[in-house]
Amino acid sequence: MSRRPARALRLAVTAAFLAAAAIPATPALAAAPPAGGVSSPQVTGVELTAPVRRGLKQVEEQWLQWVVQNSKQGSEGVVQDLLATAHQLGMVRLPDLSIGALDRAVQAARQGDFNRAHWALDAAERLDPGRCETAFAEASVDRLEGHAVRSLGDLLRGYLRLFGLPLERYLWMQDMLVWSVSLLLLSGGLFIAVQMAVKGKALWEDLLELFSRRLPRPAALAVAAAVLLWPLLLPSGLLWLPLFWSVLLWGYSSVSERAVLVTLWLLVGLAPILITSQSRRVAVMLSPPVQAMESLRQHRLYGGLFTDLGVLRSLLPESAAVKHLLADVHRSLNQWDLAQSLYRQVLEQEPANTYAEMNLGAYAYIKGDFGSAIQHFQKVVAADPKSAAALFNLSQAYSDSYLFDDSRRSLAQARAIDDTQVDRWMRELSQQRIVTNNRGITRIPEIRDELQANFRAHEAPSARLELFRRWLSPVVPLVLALLAVALQLAGRPLGSSSEAASDSLRFHSNNRWRRILLPGAGAAESGEGLGGFFAVLLPVALIMLPLFGRLGYRLPWGYDPGSSVAWIVAILGLTLYLGVRLRMELRNDI
Amino acid sequence: MAVEGSLDLQKLPEVLQLIAQQKKTGILTVQGMQDIIAVTFLNGQIVAADALNQTVEEGLAQVLVGERLLTAADFARAAAEHETAGGRLLDLLVERSYIARPDLLRGLRLQTFRLLEQLLRWEKGDFKFYSGDEVPFEDGFHPIAVDELLYPGTGPGTGPAPLRSVPPAPYREETAEDYPRVTPEPSARPTLRVVRREGEPPAPVRAVSGAMPGAVTADPEATSPFRQMKVEKPQGAPLAFLPWLAATGLALILGAALLSRPEALILPFPWQSRERADLAQDQRASLYLKIDRAAKTYFLLEGHFPANLTVLQKAGLLAGSDLSDPQGHAFRYTATEESYSLQPLVGDQPIAGTETSEAITGNFLLDPEFLNVPTESTSPPLVLLD
């Protein structure tokens, strides 16, 4: 799903609510909160109480303070304050501010103020630790400072950090899939082109001989050329041309070359299925709601977080998983009143949801309603007797209700299940004294699947037609194989005789430079299929290296590392490759 | 069977048999651990063998002396004469009547045979076969069949019919009339014979023997297979370059498709237009997300969106390739006070359904209205009257 449809949907939902409420659609009035100081979800995505809004405002103001800092100590102090404020909101990372700090660092480095650049980088790292963008920006600063080796090390560190970031890692894997499939298909096409370049003359001569039996020479030439090039007239002619050539060249190919051709046919048939199955998942992963959920999981507070959560609720208004997630969000923001309402809605849909029940009990406990709290915790214990957290909470509620015997018994039961955990709770739970859970946040994969199903429901016009179209492409390799075998069995003189197929010496050329500069030519002359394919694959892989991020999906990192490393590796690799080929050719020559 | 390879993977007898079966003409070079041997084939039969570390004369001397066809003293005398007189030692041996030519040829054949036997004992090395239309060999040399070499007891008289000293029909021996510009010196003995198939046009031969114009003396290296032969290729079928040209065109077009329409490479079938459009849309979505983050970072620092995307590229927030969509279409970027829009263009025309716009609305860091904290209420308090 693109951001544009999501944003359009968000605005549509807002407009619908406003129309129903008959409120003029002006931002100021729409932002007017209802009673209790809770913001309207139409504006903020999810309801935000006044303390939370004040906390967010404080973040914004502290950021402005950081921007005007001129010293490392000042910067560290403000960053500390920022993180403390974020912690109060249940968050530990501030990615937008981290990218802002990176940009400031690079700007300072360009102006020659490397001291400022370095403490800005430190601030960026503290605000959102472990990001690859920080390492890339550090590489830029080191490069500007003249430390080329350190810069290269930072670049490599940045790429390694990429694998620790879920969204970036996922997109990188998708990019690798797209790049690899593109590489194999392009190499396959070029392999067939090389085969045609080396063996085409023999094919051409055979075609001419075939048609010259019945046609005058000029007509035979025209017909042979037409036979060779007619697939260009078809839709997607560039696809059919190499496939057709692969069938024609079947008779001139060795066993290993035929194996390569069959593998390429299968790849052509199956690659589209592989790619399309992944592309819709990527669309969901890039959508604002999934971005928001992943940020919640990592406790990253970015500017549009709450608005994107509002989009999630509007897309799946009846989903128990979404309500559970939002309830946990409210709870982490200390918006217990809003959270308990959603927990109740979850329990209406999922009566056996002990996690929502537990958190409701926690809410009752915090409100001082120990009787209700005990009831909720008892329900959880009844449903899940092995829950140490429920027994611990029950003991706390008993204790505050002066039911000390029951409290001791429950605590003992909790210790019997998980003594270490109970000790940790006793040490860490100072204010709240009650254990809560983030089960809603762990339901993110379930919500993602619901989003995907929701997306597919809007997409597919006809299941049968869709199924037919999807599975049409694997039929193509079957058809090609049948054609090739039919051509061979028909005994046409297109290299189908065993003499022609095994006559590798027929294609030999004394042109050394052709073998060096044209990858796979030597192997094509020798009939080495795998060797020929890999001879094409390696230089094509090197040439395609700088295109890695462009062929698939752009990684949405906040600071771009550029593609200089890829270009350097590609150029050096190609030079080395040509050099090795030249050396091998000279070594074998007399 | 490979034209070149390693003796680790392919045994030499197999290579020799293949060349013999296919009746190839050319030179097979085998590079061993300490020597290189070149075996000359004519229509699948061996007509010469040379070693790099031992000249023909040296090998022949060992054979002739060993077979008592020539004494060591006579050979030494002939060698000394050869050093002063020049020319070919083999010709000098016959001219000075040290040995009769048939005996010389038999000795040469035996020397060749022994060299081949030595070659067959090699277990490590690389080989390569250079095909050609013409090969140099000693006139009158009785070719050695590969079977004769590999299966002792099938030699002349015991196995296949003895080979004639001239190439059998349909081959025709060329004469000087075929090359009117070649005028052999009366004193120079033509040492090479060029053979070709009936009906084939004569291929111009250059620097083959001392009989060619421009050669003052017969060059002993002229018959060595280590000298490169320069032979023009015979004429082939018309427009034979067409497959090569078409293959080159295909390669170029595939490369262009990769750069301009990468989705067409992995979703190539005509019935997959919707999947291609979906993939392109998803690729654009990822790019839009990246651009959005960059633009909002700029807004966070500067308080407004950039005037154009190049500003973001210069700041390092975007790469150069991000300034156009995955299909290579340039973006039309317009920014207002609180929002911006992006649309790919074809020429000056926007592509329908691909545009996006983003605003600061809903972003608590950028939108000043987002966090309007309610002030104290100014409405009169509600008073409950008893």
Is the omega angle on the peptide bond into residue A461 within 30 degrees of 0, that is, cis?
Answer: no
Written as six digits, the tokens of B185 are: 């010196």
Mean pLDDT taken over chain A: 85
The Cα of B185 is separated from the nearest Cα of chain A by a number of Å equal to 31
- Is the same domain home to B203 and B326? no
- Calculate mean pLDDT across residues A232-258: 89
Considering the domain boundaries, does residue B379 fall inside one? no
Candidate from A4, A140, A171 with C-beta closest to B286: A171
CB B299, CB B312: distance < 8 Å: no
Determine whether the interchain pair B300/A56 forms a contact, defined as Cβ–Cβ distance below 8 Å. Answer: no
> Which pLDDT score, from 0 to 100, does residue B207 have?
33
What long-range pairs does A442-449 form, CB within 8 A, spacing at least 24? A443/A321, A443/A324, A443/A325, A444/A293, A444/A294, A444/A296, A444/A297, A444/A325, A446/A321, A447/A289, A447/A293, A447/A312, A447/A316, A447/A319, A447/A321, A447/A322, A447/A325, A448/A284, A448/A285, A448/A290, A448/A293
| Nearest residue of A to residue B229, measured between CA atoms | A510
Nearest to B240 among A28, A204, A547 (CB): A204
Question: Are residues A2 and B270, on separate chains, in Cβ contact within 8 Å?
Answer: no
Residue B59: count of CB within 10 angstroms of its CB: 21
Question: pLDDT band at residue B182, thresholds of 50, 70 and 90?
Answer: very low
* In chain A, where the domains are located: 69-164, 168-280+468-588, 318-452
| Of B1, B239, B373, Cβ closest to residue A504 | B1
Taking the CA of residue A400 and the nearest CA in chain B, the distance in Å comes to 36
**Same structural domain for residues B305 and B209?**
no
Same domain, residue pair B338 and B207: no
Residue B96 has pLDDT above 80, yes or no: yes
Q: What is the mean pLDDT of chain B?
A: 76
- Report the distance separating Cα A200 and Cα A253, nearest Å: 11
Q: Which pLDDT tens digit goes with each residue over B241-270?
A: 888 888 889 899 888 888 888 888 888 888
Answer yes or no: do B208 and B290 share one domain: no
Shortest CB distance from A238 goes to which of B253, B271, B318? B253
Q: Would you say residue A518 has pLDDT above 70?
A: yes
A60 pLDDT exceeds 50?
A: yes
Q: Examine the domain organization and report whether B178 and B304 are in the same domain.
A: no
Check if A69-164 and A318-452 are the same fold. yes
**For residue B253, what are the domain limits?**
237-266
Using a CB-CB distance cutoff of 8 angstroms, which residues of chain A are in contact with residue B373?
Answer: 50, 53-54, 57
Within 10 angstroms of residue B35's Cβ, the number of other Cβ atoms is 16
In this structure, the answer to whether residues B28 and B148 fall within a common structural domain is: yes
> Which DSSP helix (H) or strand (E) runs through B350?
strand B349-350
Do residue B210 and residue B250 come from a single domain?
no
- The answer to whether A272 contacts B266, with C-beta atoms less than 8 Å apart, is yes
The amino acid present at A157, given as its one-letter code, is: R
Considering only CA atoms, give the Rg of chain B: 41
Average pLDDT over residues B349-373: 87
Q: Give the sign of the dihedral formed by CA A441, CA A443, CA A449, CA A453.
A: negative
Shared domain for B164 and B275, answered yes or no, is no
Do residue B325 and residue B254 come from a single domain? Answer: no
Confirm whether B377 is domain-assigned. Answer: no
B71 CA to chain A: closest CA distance, Å?
35
- Name the percent of chain A lying above pLDDT 70: 85
Whether domain A69-164 has CATH 1.10.620: the reply is no
| Residue B176 and residue B262 in one domain | no
Q: Indicate the pTM of the whole model.
A: 0.70
Which residues does chain B have within 8 Å of residue A57's beta carbon, measured at their own beta carbons?
364, 371, 373
Return the DSSP state at B190. P
Give the distance from residue A53's alpha carbon to the nearest chain B alpha carbon, in angstroms. Answer: 6
Contact B297 A96 (CB under 8 A): yes
Q: What is the pLDDT of residues B113-127, one digit of tens each?
A: 889 988 998 888 889
Considering only the beta carbons, identify the residue of A201, A476, A505 that sits closest to B129: A505
* Burial B106-138, CB ≥16 within 10 A → b, else e: bbbbbbbbebbebbeebeebbbbbbbbbbbbbb
pLDDT value, residue A64: 93
Check pLDDT > 90 for residue A493. Answer: no
In this model, does residue A114 exceed pLDDT 90?
yes
Q: Alpha helix locations (H) across B179-272?
A: 242-260, 262-266
pLDDT at position B383 is 62
- Give how many domains chain B has, as a whole number: 3
Nearest by CB to B372, which of A31, A192, A286?
A: A31
Co-location of B49 and B185 in the same domain: yes
Report whether pLDDT(B188) > 60: no
User: Do B343 and B196 share a structural domain?
Assistant: no
CA distance A340 to chain B (A): 24
CA distances from B262 to A177, A550, B276 (A): 13, 9, 9
Amino acid residing at A537: L
Whether the CB of B370 is below 8 Å from some CB of chain A: the reply is: yes
Q: What is the pLDDT of residue B262?
A: 81
Cα radius of gyration (chain A) = 33
The H or E element containing residue B345 is: strand B339-346
Probe site for chain A from B258, B309, B357 (most A CB atoms < 10 A): B258
User: Rounded to 5 degrees, what are φ and ψ at A582?
Assistant: -65, -45
Contact between chains at A558 and B294 (C-beta distance less than 8 A): yes
For an interface test with A, which of B134, B224, B266 has the most A Cβ atoms less than 10 Å from its Cβ?
B266
Q: What is the ipTM of this complex?
A: 0.84
Residues of A in contact with B126 (CB under 8 A): 588
Q: Which of B192, B217, B266 is nearest to B86 (CA)?
A: B217
CATH of A318-452, one of 3.20.20.70, 3.40.640.10, 1.25.40.10, 3.40.50.10190: 1.25.40.10
B302 has a chain A CB within 8 A of its CB = no
Residue A361's pLDDT is what?
A: 94
Kindly state the average pLDDT of the residues A265-283: 86
Q: Which pLDDT score is estimated for A280?
A: 76
Whether the pLDDT of residue B236 is over 80: the answer is no
